[in-house]
Amino acid sequence: MSYYFTILSPTDTPIFNIAFGTSKGGGDGIARFRFPDTAQYMNQFIIHSSLDILEEAQWTNGGMYLKHIDTYPPASAYISAFLTPSGARFLLLHQPPQLPSSGSSSALGASSLLGSSGSTTRASSSSVAANPTSPQTEEAVRQFMSEVYESFVKTAMSPFYKQGMEIRSPVFRSKITAAGKKWL
Amino acid sequence: MAAPPRHVSMLSISNSNAGTPQSASSDKPQTPQPPSTPQQASGLRVPSNRKTIYDRHLNRSRNAELSRASFAYLFAEMVTYAQRRVTGIQDLEKRLNEQGYPLGLRLLDLLFYRSTSTSSSALSSSSTSSSPPNRPLRILPLLHLIHGPLWRLLFQRSADALEHSVSPDTPNEYMITDNDPLVNTYISVPREMNMLNCAAYIAGVIEGVCDGCGFEAKVSAHNQPTEMWPSRTVFLLRFGDSVMEREKVLERAGIK
């Protein structure tokens, strides 16, 4: 499972982003996207394209964690969103690991692909990583988002931070990395 | 953009200063801190006890009270500061409003953070089904949020009244009344400026909260003294057209 996490300000300015891989089930925490040569900008495209859906969902669901909101099938990227009350958006793109066997058959359905990946490559211990829409995954992402939210509030409370400024603090980055390691 | 280089040089000076006395004083001899390269590269100064803002708990000062005298002093200085650079009362109120606005945005996040963290702890202790609070989607929940939790966070009590404009021409106007605003307690406005209400600062806070939640609004503070409450203040909230339109759509969709 590979992750790309972005925080967007209320005016759609990216103020923080980070890519990381899973640490569950023997993962080493390094992101391995399916298309590594284009991942760097494609991930940003995919995440930003889900903003429209987010802005619709924002007014029908009053919760802060909006769960899985969007899917981009060509890269089998799943996007989960969290909205802070002050309008900052946390977006997490997650991509389940690619099977070596299904590399050629691109027509394979997502569900069968995920089912087989759960049984073959990853043991049952890594259920979080295997199925991006399962309740366990939603819960893990929610926990991750709440931890990020705590760090984000601390950043926002700093008198030297203005809304929409890029978050450059290495401490913040390490907090997010730790939260990713813990939950995802 | 002259600030960043100055900032960086200042930090590097304080870093080099802090390096020698710290090793000399040796307050923590058992942990000689290794030179942390990533922090230094970005010019961020990490406190010697390693307590950054991220290590402090946000709920620690939750029930702490601020000295009213120091607040009154600080607020008087803020008013004086704003007054030095303005031409009229409206301008002064605008400046006070602008000072309050960023505070509103921050309070919003803090308020939700605190209510989520307490509801989860209350959930474990009393096993009630208190779900985390929702973001306000309609005007009324937003106004209740301001009237209740926000006011309690700021002043430890709710606001005194919440009203909707009775005039059919202005359905977008709402009023929140505070009989005795804390900010005006130690301020006596000169007679020639009797239109001025320094609670414009609080109006700015409210505006920040509304804007943060996605409700574009203009908020102003008005004096409405009564015999019993000489400093009674009405905060007038005027929501923008986009908000009223969305309100209609959401009402039809049945969203509360």
Rounded to 5 degrees, φ, ψ at B241 are -65, -40
Q: Which pLDDT does position B1 carry in this prediction? A: 41
B134 at A interface, C-beta within 8 A = yes
Quick check: A89 and A82 in contact, CB under 8 A?
A: yes
pLDDT band at A40 (very low <50, low <70, confident <90, very high): confident
Question: Which has the higher per-residue pLDDT, B107 or A100?
Answer: B107
List Cβ neighbours of B177 (8 Å cut-off, separation of 6 or more). B159, B160, B161, B162, B163, B224, B232, B233, B234, B235
Measured from the Cβ of residue A123, the count of other Cβ atoms closer than 10 Å reads 12
**Among A156-160, B70-74, B118-122, B166-170, which stretch is predicted with the lowest mean pLDDT?**
B118-122
Cα separation of A21 and A3, whole Å?
6
**No. of helices (H) and no. of strands (E), chain B:** 8, 4
Q: A139 in contact with B at a CB cutoff of 8 Å?
A: no
**Residue B7: count of CB within 10 angstroms of its CB:** 12
Lowest mean pLDDT among A51-55, A129-133, A162-166: A129-133
From B141, which residue of chain A is nearest by alpha-carbon distance? A62
**Cβ-defined contact of B112 to A58 (cutoff 8 Å):** no
Planar angle of CA A49, A51, A53, nearest 5 degrees: 100
Question: Nearest CB to B113: which of A58, A149, A171?
Answer: A149
B185 strand-pairing partners: none
B180, B147, B142: which is closest to B161 by C-alpha?
A: B147
AA letter at B83: Q
Residues of A in contact with B53 (CB under 8 A): 154-155, 157-158
Residue A139 with chain B: CB contacts under 8 Å: none
* Per-residue pLDDT band at B15 (split at 50, 70, 90): very low
Q: Running DSSP on this structure, what letter comes out for residue A92?
A: E
Cβ–Cβ gap B54/A163 under 8 Å: no
The residue in chain B having the minimum alpha-carbon distance to the alpha carbon of residue A55 is: B214
pLDDT digits (tens, 9 = 90+) for B170-223: 889 999 999 988 888 888 888 888 888 889 999 999 999 999 999 999 999 999
pLDDT band at B12 (very low <50, low <70, confident <90, very high): very low
> Which of B38, B53, B137 has its CB closest to that of A154?
B53
Which chain B residues are within 8 Å of A87, Cβ to Cβ? 212-214
Chain B nearest C-alpha distance from A71 (Å): 24
Closest CA to A75 of A42, A102, A111: A42
Mean per-residue pLDDT, A10-39: 83
Contact B193, B214 (CB under 8 A): no
DSSP 8-state class, residue B147: I
Chain A residues with CB-CB distance to B56 below 8 A: 154
Residue that the structure tokens 């939603």 belong to: A138
Rounded Cα–Cα distance for residues A154 and B84 (Å): 33
Decide if A60 and B255 are in contact by the 8 Å CB cutoff: yes
pLDDT in tens, B16-54: 443 334 443 444 444 444 444 444 445 556 667 777 788
> What are the structural domains of chain A?
2-183 (3.30.450.70)
B244 against A137, higher pLDDT: B244
* CA–CA distances in Å: residue A87 to residues A69, B99, B105, B126, B208: 17, 20, 9, 31, 11
Task: Please state, rounded to an integer, the average pLDDT across all residues of chain B.
Answer: 77
Using CA coordinates, name the residue in chain A closest to B40.
A170
Q: How far is Cα B105 from Cα A157, in angstroms, rounded to an integer?
A: 9
pLDDT beyond 70 at A66: yes
Give the integer Cα–Cα distance in Å for B105 and B112. 11
Residue of A nearest to B110 (CA): A153
Query: A-B interface: how many C-beta pairs under 8 angstroms?
Result: 83
pLDDT of residue B4: 45
Confidence at residue A67, expressed as pLDDT on a 0 to 100 scale: 84
Give the Cα separation of B99 and B137 in Å (integer). 26
| DSSP 8-state class, residue B137 | -
Query: How many separate helices (H) and strands (E) can be counted in chain A?
Result: 6, 5
Q: Which of B117, B116, B121, B89 is nearest to B194 (CA)?
A: B89
Average pLDDT of chain A, as a whole number: 79
Look at phi and psi of residue A164 and say left if phi exceeds 0, alpha if psi is from -120 to 50, else beta.
left
Asked if the model's pLDDT at residue A138 lies above 60, the reply is: yes
- Across-strand partners of B224? none
CATH topology of domain B68-253: Muramoyl-pentapeptide Carboxypeptidase; domain 2 (3.30.1380)
Nearest to A157 among B106, B112, B213 (CB): B106
Any CB–CB contact under 8 A between A12 and chain B?
no
A19 three-state secondary structure:
strand
pLDDT value at residue A104: 40
The interface predicted TM-score (ipTM) is 0.77
Going by their DSSP bridges, the two strands A65-72 and A2-8 should be labelled as unpaired
Question: Chain B partners of A84 at a C-beta cutoff of 8 Å?
Answer: 109, 112
Please write the tens of the pLDDT for every residue from A69-117: 888 888 888 899 999 988 899 999 988 876 654 434 333 344 444 444 4
CA–CA gap between residue A168 and residue A104 (Å, rounded): 41
Domain ranges of chain B: 68-253
Which of B6, B74, B135 has the most A C-beta neighbours within 10 Å, making it the best mutation to test the interface with A? Answer: B135
Predicted local distance difference test score (pLDDT) of residue A16: 92
Q: Which residue in chain A is spatially nearest to B113 when comparing CA positions?
A: A150
Contact A157 B39 (CB under 8 A): no
Rounded to 5°, the CA angle B198-B202-B208 comes to 135
Tell me how close the Cα of A36 comes to any Cα of chain B, in angstroms: 26
pLDDT tens, position by position, B232-256: 999 999 999 999 999 899 988 887 7
| DSSP string of B40-83, one letter each residue | HHHTPPPPTT---GGGS-TTTTSS----HHHHHHHHHHHHHHHH
